[in-house]
């Protein structure tokens, strides 16, 4: 048992809610410019602050202090001594705002103390020991009698190994009696081990590959993407995860899902403010987590809209909006958005399994599996058989009429029809639910509905286009935005936004109240998969995000940064990430009858199928990147090469076509 338990401070015991200190200097530059302390832009100030510290290290080595840095900075920016002193105070105040304890490491500190080890903290820092001690004390890490060794006070650094020598000499212990935990291999692990100290690398304290992408966009986003990176790291360090699957769920949620959804929700709230919306309805079930996030962020954005949850689904709303079961009226039933089997189509119409078999018999398909996926031609034939046999037609129309009135009463109950401007929020994609609600309530809506979506595609039919809808990430109707994401991006976005309850399949009156009818009260399959870890991580991210106006500007465009990290996850997940997220049981039809794993390993048989048919996904929702990561190496290599060959062939065809066009 070690007599001395030593801990690095920054990115180990303490974590900043920015990806790198340079972002803090960018924020400081904004404050300094606003107060008239500097004439330089925030970015120029931040870069000058970094350069000043670099010059001090080159000149003084480890003995760099905050005062020496600002003496250098004052010379570079022609600052007065008084203004330099003010900036020192501002930087210290900002440091206190940005620093948070890393719960898992603080717990390790407490365990070391409980087993009788003497706890010491070590840091290569320009801060005075008194200020660093305040930060550690406020984090619940430093107690009376603990040791504190800093390069600024001693003039010796960890990265040279000299501060570890000082530790051993001052504590009077042999190297084998000390242990050290730190995030930096070059400054913590290697020099400690060179001096015989047992050292453990705290890799979790460093930015992961997704957070590094966010950090690289710092200057283009005014520092906001760096804040997202820092908060992601803090969420990873806050939410406990034991099993490998939970670790992968937590880390991807923190680093990919939460930053992307934060950008979307901030945009929604800003648009609601600009449009002066009175009520903002988040559609189930994707809207459940989005609403939680919006409630957390709304005060910072300043939207006055009331935030509400509307239990609605394509299944329930489309049936209620059905009129005469002719043509465009049932286009939603044969839409390829979801898996269409005879049974799924019947359930969407409120018909029973016996009706499925009867309809298939009418078509001469008595031997056809009720659950087999249909081709586009078969979908049209089955829809016609289900809707136009007189008995079934009458029952469908009766159910549609009953559901129409129940839905109208529900919308009235939820004040969708009340005076005021309203918005509907959903992930996307074609605005079918918005259109159906608009069609049902045309004469009763007080004002036009504003649809706010993460992405927008053209409607399934021009007649199905809602009145007004906007999109955050891309709008394919207008050919704008970031629409080059890999296959399965929709699937994974829906996984990120998994709801905790089952799908809405209708509405019923219960006295004076209208209650949505759920296929299942809770989403047990998602709960078993690990939904609690995902939700806890999103909550930790929201809690950790600083909403101060000088740190977070909700109008800042972070789409390029968050889309790049999302793209990396979709294309090149680690095997652990692929295993965790591929296991998600995805509901693949509007009736909620079927689930499929998001991804599964490719086999040699799949490879042969790809060679014959030129297509290798298991199903239309399949996550190709995850499936590849789980596949045997030889199959993975062959499929990657096959896809590259197809890409080259397509490029050649395009070049030839252009040449022929000339």
pLDDT in tens, 85-118: 999 999 999 999 999 999 999 999 999 999 999 9
Q: What angle do CA 231, 236, 239 make, to 5 degrees?
A: 115
How far apart (Å, rounded) are the C-alpha atoms in residues 548 and 97?
10
pLDDT in tens, 206-224: 999 999 999 999 999 999 9
* 662, pLDDT greater than 60: no
Q: Tell me the mean pLDDT in the region 470-483.
A: 92
**Reduced to 3 states, what is the DSSP secondary structure of residue 451?**
strand
Residue in the structure block whose two tokens are 């992307």: 260
Model-level pTM? 0.90
| CB 7, CB 13: distance < 8 Å | yes
Residue 313's pLDDT is: 86
* 463, pLDDT greater than 70: no
Q: N- to C-terminal Cα distance for the chain?
A: 79
Q: What's the alpha-carbon Rg for the chain, to the nearest Å?
A: 29
* 56, pLDDT greater than 80: yes
Residues 6+ apart with CB under 8 A from 504: 284, 311, 312, 313, 315, 316, 516, 517, 518, 519
Residue 376's pLDDT is: 77
39, 38, 14, 44: which is closest to 26 by C-alpha?
44
Per-residue HEC secondary structure of 354-409 comes to HHHHHHHHHCCCCCCCCCCCCCHHHHHHHHHHHHHCHHHHHHHHHHHHHHHHHHHH
How far apart (Å, rounded) are the C-alpha atoms in residues 183 and 11?
6
| CB 524, CB 518: distance < 8 Å | no
How far apart (Å, rounded) are the C-alpha atoms in residues 30 and 43?
9
Q: Where in the sequence of the chain do the CATH 3.40.50.1000 domains occur?
A: 1-205
* 249, pLDDT greater than 80: yes
- Supply 397's token pair: 């129309």
Residues 549-579, buried b or exposed e (16+ Cβ, 10 A)?
eebbbbebebbebbbbbbbbbbeebeeebbb
Residue 151's pLDDT is: 95
Confidence of residue 651 (pLDDT cuts 50, 70, 90): low
* 577, pLDDT greater than 90: yes
Of the options 3.40.50, 3.30.43, 1.20.140, 3.10.20, the CATH number for the domain spanning 271-313+406-529: 3.40.50
* 538, pLDDT greater than 80: yes
329, 325, 332: which is closest to 392 by C-alpha?
325
| CB 7, CB 122: distance < 8 Å | yes
How far apart (Å, rounded) are the C-alpha atoms in residues 622 and 596?
9
- Supply 645's token pair: 């060959």
How far apart (Å, rounded) are the C-alpha atoms in residues 309 and 326?
32
| CB 266, CB 549: distance < 8 Å | no
Give me the residues paired with residue 309 across strands.
282
pLDDT in tens, 148-168: 999 999 999 999 999 999 999
Q: What percent of the chain has pLDDT over 70?
A: 92
Of the options 3.90.230.10, 3.40.50.2300, 3.40.50.1000, 3.40.228.10, the CATH number for the domain spanning 1-205: 3.40.50.1000
Question: Cα dihedral sign for 371, 373, 376, 377?
Answer: negative
**Reduced to 3 states, what is the DSSP secondary structure of residue 100?**
strand
| CB 523, CB 499: distance < 8 Å | yes
How far apart (Å, rounded) are the C-alpha atoms in residues 425 and 265?
9
Residue 139's pLDDT is: 95
Strands 178-182, 99-101: pairing kind: unpaired
Chain CA centroid to CA 227, Å: 14
């Amino acid at each position: 048992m070690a007599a001395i338990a030593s801990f690095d401070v920054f990115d180990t015991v303490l974590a900043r809610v920015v990806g790198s200190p340079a972002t803090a200097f960018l924020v400081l530059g904004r404050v300094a410019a606003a107060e008239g302390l500097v004439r330089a832009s925030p970015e120029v100030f931040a870069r000058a602050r970094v350069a000043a510290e670099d010059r001090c290290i080159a000149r003084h080595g480890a003995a760099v202090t905050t005062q020496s840095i600002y003496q250098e900075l004052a010379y570079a920016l022609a600052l007065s001594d008084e203004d330099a002193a003010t900036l020192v105070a501002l930087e210290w105040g900002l440091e206190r705002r940005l620093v948070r304890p890393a719960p898992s490491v603080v717990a390790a500190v407490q365990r070391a103390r409980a087993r009788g080890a003497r706890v010491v903290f070590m840091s290569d820092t320009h801060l005075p020991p008194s200020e660093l001690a305040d930060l550690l004390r406020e984090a619940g890490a430093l107690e009376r009698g603990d040791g504190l060794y800093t390069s600024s006070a001693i003039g010796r650094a960890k990265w040279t190994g000299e501060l570890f020598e000082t530790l051993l000499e001052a504590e009077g212990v042999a190297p084998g009696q000390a242990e050290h935990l730190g995030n930096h291999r070059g400054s913590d692990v290697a020099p400690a081990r060179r001096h015989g100290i047992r050292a453990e690398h705290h890799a979790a304290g460093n930015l992961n590959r997704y957070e590094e992408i966010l950090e690289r966009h710092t200057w283009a986003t005014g520092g906001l993407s760096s804040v997202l990176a820092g908060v992601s790291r803090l969420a990873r360090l806050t939410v406990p995860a034991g099993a490998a699957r939970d670790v992968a769920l937590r880390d991807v949620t923190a680093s990919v899902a939460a930053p992307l959804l934060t950008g979307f929700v901030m945009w929604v709230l800003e648009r609601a403010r600009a449009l002066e919306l009175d009520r903002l309805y988040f559609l189930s079930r994707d809207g459940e987590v989005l609403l939680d996030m919006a409630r957390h962020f709304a005060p910072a954005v300043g939207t006055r809209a009331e935030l509400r949850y509307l239990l609605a689904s394509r299944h329930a709303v489309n049936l209620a909006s059905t009129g005469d079961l002719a043509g465009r009226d049932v286009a939603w039933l044969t839409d390829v958005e979801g898996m269409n089997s005879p049974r799924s189509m019947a359930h969407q119409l409120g018909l029973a399994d016996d009706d499925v078999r009867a309809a298939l018999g009418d078509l001469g398909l008595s031997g056809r599996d009720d659950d087999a996926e249909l081709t586009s031609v078969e979908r049209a034939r089955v829809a016609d058989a289900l809707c136009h046999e007189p008995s079934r037609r009458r029952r469908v129309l009766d159910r549609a009429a009953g559901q129409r009135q129940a839905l109208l009463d529900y919308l009235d109950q939820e004040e969708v029809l009340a005076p005021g401007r309203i918005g509907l929020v959903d992930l996307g994609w074609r605005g079918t639910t918005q259109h159906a609600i608009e069609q049902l309530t045309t004469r009763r809506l007080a004002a036009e509905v504003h649809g706010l979506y993460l992405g927008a595609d053209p409607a399934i039919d021009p007649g199905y286009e809602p009145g007004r809808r906007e999109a955050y990430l891309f709008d394919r109707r207008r050919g704008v935005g970031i629409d080059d994401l890999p296959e399965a991006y929709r699937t994974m976005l829906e996984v990120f936004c998994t709801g905790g309850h089952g799908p809405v399949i209708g509405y019923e009156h219960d006295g004076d109240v209208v209650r949505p009818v759920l296929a299942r009260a809770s989403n047990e399959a998602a709960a078993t998969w690990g939904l609690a870890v995902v939700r806890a991580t999103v909550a930790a991210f929201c809690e950790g995000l600083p909403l101060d106006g000088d740190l977070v500007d909700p109008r800042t465009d972070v789409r390029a940064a968050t889309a790049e990290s999302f793209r990396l996850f979709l294309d090149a997940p680690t095997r652990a990430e692929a295993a965790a997220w591929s296991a998600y049981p995805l509901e693949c039809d509007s009736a909620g009858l079927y689930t499929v794993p998001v991804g599964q390993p490719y086999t040699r048989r799949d490879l042969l199928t790809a060679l014959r048919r030129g297509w290798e996904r298991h199903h239309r929702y399949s996550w190709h990147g995850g499936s590849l990561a789980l596949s045997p190496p030889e199959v993975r290599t062959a499929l990657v090469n096959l896809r590259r060959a197809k890409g080259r062939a397509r490029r050649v065809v395009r070049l030839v076509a252009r040449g022929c066009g000339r």
